[in-house]
Structure 1
Amino acid sequence: MPLIWCSISGHGYGHAAQVLPVLNELARRVPRLSAILRTTVPASFFEGRLHLDWELRPAEQDIGCVQHGPLKIDAAATWSEHGRFHRSWDAKLDAEVRAIRAARPHLVLSDISYLATAAGAQAGVPTVALGSLSWDLVLAKFADRNSEEHQTLIDRIRRAYAAADVLLRAMPGLPMDAFRRIVDIGPIAQASEPKPAALRQAVGASSEERLVLVGFGGVPLSSLPFQRLEAMAGYRFIFDGSVPASVSRIHAAAPLPFRFNILLASTDLVVSKPGYSTVVEAVTHRKPLVYVRRYNFPDEGPLVDFLHRYGRGAELPMDDFSAGRWEKALDAACAAPEPPAPAPQPMGAADAAEILTQYL
């Protein structure tokens, strides 16, 4: 029976959301396909979304970044955690190689753990990376040029990435020149059936109100300027987090019978950071996106460019976001003209599956 060892970075849910459509497309093409998920992403994320036999084997695959909420990266803590992870690198690599060999998969697929690319290659299994960013480029943004430790660690990550047979780079992706071979694929988005009428009924939204999804991914946002949003005429909000009982026009997403991707496809516009899945799915579903930038994460620039070229969007400055001064950005996103260029079809999952079936 064909088996994939699928390593998924546990930094938020973005990498899991990116690899899910690829695994589902593979399952449609490869009979009796199964997967071992090697990640710290909880099983609840995959339940009901992953349409093949799978087994979760939790294990730390990389660090990513240490964050205080979705908008603030703690550079010092990030380097400290990477130092901890790499102090036992040889033992981690040996354990991962032995685990892969014991499972005997046909393919190691990594989005985008460098431990997995190094271990898959050392285990003698075809190893493919998938993604739109790599951790060496993320860390380079925070590196001290005078720190030999920082550069040594980045070099180790690049060598581990270079062990992969190929990188499938999802549009829009970073250069990722650590990989020896790169094949570009289209944008990756989850298939979502919009249900705007059912959603409006569930939250009691009138036809005159714009329905706004506020969601910042797997690193949760702890609070919002709820009273300012409650007083914002003409808008009703769905928040992917806890909502105080004192508000009536802001609704928690969790109790609603819709997954996040269905919410995105069914609302009138979205407020988020410019993350890969959010941007690509907003463009795919022609939803205006109001984004709050961090300005120190390397894929933000390409994602914002992609949004403005193929979709509609407006930036909400961090201070205005925190203070609840959202009206100007929300109105600007809704009033933005249709993009001049047609959006590329989200064929990345099919592109990846066509290549990956050769190994299965």
Structure 2
Amino acid sequence: MLIYVCISSHGFGHAARQAALLRELHLLCPHWTLVISTMVDRRFLELVFRDIPVVLRPVRWDVGMLQADALGADPAATLEALKDLEDALPQRLDQEVAWISKQDMPVLVIGDIPPVAAELAEQLQAPLVWMGNFGWDDIYAPLGSAFAAWVRRARDCYQRGSLLLRCPFSLAMNWNLREISLTLVAAEPRSIPAALEAKLQESPSPNVLVGFGGLGLGLEPSLFARWPDHRFLLTLPRNPDLKERLALISNVTLLPDGVRPLDVMPYCRRHLGKPGFSSFCEAMAADLGLHVVERQGFAEASVLMEGLRQHASHRILRREELESGRWALDQPLQPPTHGRLSATGAIEAAKAVKRVAIDTVQQV
């Protein structure tokens, strides 16, 4: 059996939750071939899929929403990119159909959540399972008439499939499909280097994980010095100058290569970042307090923030508060209104995918 996963190239969160799913699916069906197809940064893919035997196919299936930075969207640039994508997709489809056919195995397609996954599945005559907390129809619809054709195309594709695995914090996704609602989708933390573990365990200050997704935000390093009674954990920035400046801040620890933010969550008390599906799931599973900066121009943010209020201890910050260092880390957290969610979504999704594969694909 070949499981072919079309992953949005929009951001890291789609790949992170598919890594959680495929880890559980590999445990259930270790003989199945797992293929991930995306243009998400290869270093990130190698990090999150490190313990899972996957085949990587570097294909861009969607545009998503182009962003100026981690908190700002760029609709005009998104429209131009969608036009370019439209010209490129037919050849990409032909290439991937030919490659998959050469593998000479029964196939199931998972879409998270490029619309064109429907066309790929139809050309392969393979079952299709969608997994996500939104579709691009939900994201483009509020952006006006210029996106109307893209909304219609996406919605038409999303209505073709065997199953929707609906993640928490979801938009409408009114696709007239059979659905299974999942709990939090998060992978398990891995062990970290002994020296780092000792440093975090022995720190006299509370550890705060800082993360703003793949684009990052480039916070002014001097802001961390405003909180000398806290230790901040950050992934290595790509900008060499920023990395050098952060390394000089005594209460900043840069995570070494091979360590995911998820891996240090058990040693942290709070998380400072933006609204993001996978970071929310991982932080909620670890019972961290979330300090979250409001985000504009992206429809998913509203349901994520509602989920934050309902299911996590939290503080909500304005962007100007973030950029001025007023992070409220010394203030009590707001309690959730509905209590915590369980974190069994990855295994629930893996079992559902296995059932669809066994029920609808002819084994050979």
Secondary structure at the aligned position of 2:184 is classed as coil
Alpha-carbon distance between aligned partners in 2 of 1:194 and 1:339, rounded to the nearest angstrom: 29
Match of 1:249 in 2: 251
Match of 1:192 in 2: 189
Match of 1:36 in 2: 35
Whether the 8 Å contact between 1:194 and 1:266 is mirrored in structure 2 is: no
Q: 1:194–1:101: structure 2 CA closer, same or farther, 3 Å change rule?
A: closer
Match of 1:75 in 2: 75
Match of 1:226 in 2: 221
In structure 2, what residue type is equivalent to 1:79?
A: L
Match of 2:361 in 1: none
Residue by residue, what CA displacement relative to the aligned partner does 1:80-119 show, whole Å, maximum 9, x if unpaired? 1111112344444444443443344421111111112221
Q: 1:92–1:273: structure 2 CA closer, same or farther, 3 Å change rule?
A: same
Structure 2 unaligned residues grouped into runs of 5+: 359-364
Alpha-carbon distance between aligned partners in 2 of 1:32 and 1:204, rounded to the nearest angstrom: 39
Match of 1:128 in 2: 129
Match of 2:212 in 1: 216
Q: 1:210–1:196: structure 2 CA closer, same or farther, 3 Å change rule?
A: farther
Residue by residue, what CA displacement relative to the aligned partner does 1:288-324 show, whole Å, maximum 9, x if unpaired? 0111121322222222222222211111110111122
Alpha-carbon distance between aligned partners in 1 of 2:176 and 2:297, rounded to the nearest angstrom: 23
1:159 to 153, 156, 161: 156
Alpha-carbon distance between aligned partners in 2 of 1:203 and 1:342, rounded to the nearest angstrom: 28
In structure 1, what residue type is equivalent to 2:302?
A: G
The number of equivalent residue pairs is: 348
Whether the 8 Å contact between 1:229 and 1:324 is mirrored in structure 2 is: yes
TM-score with structure 2 length normalisation?
A: 0.87
Pairwise CA distance, 1:287: 0.4
Match of 2:362 in 1: none
Q: 1:262–1:66: structure 2 CA closer, same or farther, 3 Å change rule?
A: same
Structure 1 unaligned residues grouped into runs of 5+: none
Residue by residue, what CA displacement relative to the aligned partner does 1:243-271 show, whole Å, maximum 9, x if unpaired? 31432212222x26632111233212111
Match of 1:322 in 2: 323
Match of 1:24 in 2: 23
Secondary structure at the aligned position of 1:331 is classed as coil
Whether the 8 Å contact between 1:34 and 1:52 is mirrored in structure 2 is: no
1:354 to 344, 351, 354: 351
Whether the 8 Å contact between 1:3 and 1:105 is mirrored in structure 2 is: yes
Pairwise CA distance, 1:199: 4.3
In structure 1, what residue type is equivalent to 2:348?
A: D
Alpha-carbon distance between aligned partners in 2 of 1:185 and 1:249, rounded to the nearest angstrom: 38
TM-score with structure 1 length normalisation?
A: 0.88
Residue by residue, what CA displacement relative to the aligned partner does 1:102-158 show, whole Å, maximum 9, x if unpaired? 34442111111111222112320111111111111112232x33x3xx211221111
Root mean square deviation of aligned Cα: 2.5
Q: 1:181–1:257: structure 2 CA closer, same or farther, 3 Å change rule?
A: closer
- Pair 1:169-2:166 in alignment: yes
Alpha-carbon distance between aligned partners in 1 of 2:125 and 2:339, rounded to the nearest angstrom: 42
After superposition, residues 293-332 of structure 1 pair within 5 angstroms as 293-326=294-327, 329-332=328-331
Percent identity for Structure 1 against Structure 2: 29
Secondary structure at the aligned position of 1:167 is classed as strand
Whether the 8 Å contact between 1:118 and 1:161 is mirrored in structure 2 is: no
Alpha-carbon distance between aligned partners in 1 of 2:116 and 2:99, rounded to the nearest angstrom: 12
- Pair 1:237-2:236 in alignment: no
